[in-house]
A and B are shown apart, each in its own frame.
Chain A
């Protein structure tokens, strides 16, 4: 029971963290300057974005949920679960972020998810 709760917490926070991060970075627009001086200004602007801070909190929750999950469950259970989030997130990227997910990306996401599931054998 505890294992499933942790898994649900991990999946939920990973998905939410990625969606928030992607949404905020899309809104910010393409980063083009990588000179150290400009980069400092970009970082300062990003540090004030609420979605981004929330995204990092969710990523941290996901990280600790994964660590705790590994105390009770095998890696061969925990890692395929993280592959499942990939397909789930692709669906949400289409619905929530309005990304145009073409057949190439669907096929790629499924191949990778199956591949990760096999890696744990």
Chain B
């Protein structure tokens, strides 16, 4: 028998955008639409979506608020699509618990790729100790990192950053999230610590640190480990 289609909830107050998204996604996924925050929260309960595509500028409440309310009870992937390109908006949404952020206008190919990454992550079995990505291997059980089959030495901080990025690979980790998880709450604003460690880490794992292939910078927002 055919497996049940993955269900995607599209939340946007613009009818034309909902239409373009449902048409484009409709032949691969089952699509549910919502035009405002209340409807979205309702549909999240009744329709059991596997993923939410969420606009920030909703008429009744902000998308970041919808994200927070959803995160109170579910871990389903949330991808924000918005015309807002200010880094503060991206950070607010990501810190509220969104998985990804896409600035409008975007190509449908880009959105499909992000959807695949988000769905794969939610399916992932958490207890696989080996992470592999294009020549980069992280053995989390033995705390060994090797690059192109050669073990490299990382400081504990560098290892921790890499481990967290790998755990959320493909997803943007904001500066605050990384600082909080690696150094602790009180280091949330010590951005230069992160910059220096990322710079050192890149020197060790990247072929060319000026054109990184693994650890990608999201300007003003954070870092992302390239997805599989």
Q: Are both chains from one complex?
A: no
Q: Interface on B for A, CB 8 Å cutoff?
A: none
